[in-house]
Structures are given as C-alpha cells and as structure tokens.
Copies of this chain bind each other. A is one copy, B any other.
Amino acid sequence: MTTIAVDAMGGDHAPRPEVEGAVLAARELGVRVLLVGQTAAVKHELAKHSHRGLDIEVVPASEVITMEDSPTQAFRKKKDSSVHVAAKLVRNGQADGLVSAGNTGAVMAVARFGLGTLPSVDRVALAARFPTARGGVSVLLDVGANVDSKVAHLEQFAIMGEIYYRAIFGTRRPKVALLSIGEEEMKGNELTREAYNRLKQLPINFVGNVEGRDVFAGNVDVIVCDGFIGNVALKISEGVAQLIITMLKNALQSTLSAQVGSLLSRRAFRDFKKKIDYSEYGGAPLLGVRGVAVISHGSSNANAMKNAIRVAAGLARAKTNEKIEQELSAVAAAARP
C-alpha cells in the first residue's frame, strides 16, 4: 500500500484542511496517510471526522515552519518541524512521498537537501499545473526551484516533466514545448535558442516554442522554462485571476438588475471560481529529489490536499524516479563522444 506523509501544520488554515484532506484521500484513494505535526492539534482535528477503518496515523513533530521563516533558517534551525519529520519518513522508507502546503521555499529546501537529488539530476524542478481552455491541464516547469538555468538543466526539466505528465495524466506521448516569445526556432533569448536545438534531439515529443498565452490554451502538455520566468508566470497568473474576480464582483454589485442576475447565476459563479482556483489542481511536485515531494498552495482546502496526496501517490506508484534515472542516464550516455 502506498504511504504518504502529510505535513499537517503547513497551510494557512492548518491542520484543518490537511486532516480533512487526509481522511478523504484514505477513504477515496486507498492510500495510507501519516499525519505529521503537533499531536494534540492533529488529533483534535482528526476526532471531528469518522475515520474508523481508514489507514491514518499521527506522527509527532514538535516544531512548525511559518510563512515568515526563511528557507535556510527553517532548514537549519527547525529540525523537528513537521516538514523535516515528513522528509525523514520518506528518507527512511516509511513513506513513499510527502505533501506539504507550507512555506514553499522552506519545503523545497528541506526536500532538496533532506532527501537529496537523484544521481542523474543536476537541478530539481518545481512543476505547476494550469487549467486550459480545452478543459485539460498543462504543466509548466520550473516555476521557482532555480534561477539562471543552463541549457542542460532545461533539457532535464523537459525529460522529467514528460515523465511526470505521462504518470499522472496517462498521455502516452505528451507534447513538450519550450516557453519563448515567438514560435519560430530563432525567436527567444540565448538560452532558449540553444535549448531549442537540444530539445529537438531528445527522445521526446518536442513540438517547438510556445508563447505565454499557450500555457492556458491546451495545445501543448508540458512547457519548459527557467525558474525565474516560470515563477513570474505563475504569480502573474494568480494576479490576473485575482484582479478579474474582484472586478467581476464589483461589476455585479453595481446595479440592482446585476445583483438579481448575480443571485440567479450564483451556482454558475461558484463553479466558475472553482475552475479558476489553482488550489483545486492539487500540488506541484518537486521533480528530481529522491522520493516524492508535492508542494501545494498555502490556501489549499481539503479537496486540494486530497488531490495533492493523489499526485504524490500516483508518482510513487508509477515509479517516476526510476524512469527519470533511466532516461537521464540514457541521454547522458548518448551525449558522450
């Protein structure tokens, strides 16, 4: 049975959504969940749910990393944090993966240094999911584990992203693209022009450059970029979505007929908000670490936590890391003279 360690103290509303998400995951997905955190708080929350017969266990961790902690501080000083203990469970083989809605920088630091990197991987990558106009999902990586990526790193991101997409979405030959500022091969900056040349030689379904708007168009599956660019892209998307919701709310309160209209279409709006809500899309895996680490949004609700657990279990079951090792070593071997 797949076992996932869940950081019960990570998110903005911890441990409520973490515990509820764990209960849902154990019930619906048939995974075993280790809820890691301050025992009293976690047990108090767990008591609110009927969880008889479910494979859920509470693992104590005395410290909590906050959103204010710097990643290095958190990694070095809070050795008994729920994230550290979750990572330890993965390292010791007691769990197949971990999920945290905590401070992204801190979770990345603990996962990267606490779990270590796969032998063939030079840089780990955070892979975020985006909803698309076609109703599917596109994956963008890296969205912030690195800055100043080299061509060799983008090459590894492409391979890791492709394997991740196959594992989670079952697409046999995901379309992999490079994020640039024009579709033609020569468009882009120094990094992307060189990367284009290398990606087209890889044993993946590389379809060329795409532009920013294609992240949401659904015409490609995996989009590769440097972590600085990816992080700006992620944050700017959140900014636009937030702005649009605010504007829409204001517009719908502006006149009486709009208010009545808004009441009548309340359910449609709820569905709509749910669709553009990133927390619905589960978490972002940190690809390239030994073991599985999935980071979800700080504002994750129980459903988002369940989905993140689903992703972690899916990656573990699909033996993603073995595949990453295999393919990266094959590419490295092919490149040797």
Contacts and interface: CB of A to CB of B under 8 A. Distances in A.
A153 to B, nearest CB: 13
Contacts of A28: none
Interface in A223-256: 225, 227-229, 231-244, 246-248, 251-252, 254-255
A117 interface: no
Contacts of A238: 212-213
Nearest to A248: B272
Interface stretch (A14-22, A214-222, A293-301, A318-326): A214-222
Contacts of A133: 242-243, 246-247
A247 B272 contact: yes
B243 A272 contact: no
Copies of the chain in the assembly = 2
Q: Which of A131, A144, A212, A217 has the most CB of B within 10 A?
A: A212
A167 interface: no
Interface string A68-97: 000000000000000000000000000000
Contact of A237 (B148, B225, B236, B263): B236
Given A212-B239, A268-B261, A232 B181 contact: yes
A132 interface: yes
Given A147-B188, A179-B232, A247-B275, A239 B254 contact: no
Contacts of A213: 235-236, 238-239, 242
B212 A234 contact: yes
Contacts of A147: 181, 188-190
Given A181-B228, A229-B229, A252-B265, 16 more contacts: A132-B243, A144-B181, A179-B232, A188-B228, A211-B235, A212-B239, A215-B236, A215-B239, A216-B240, A232-B233, A233-B233, A251-B272, A260-B261, A261-B263, A262-B268, A265-B265
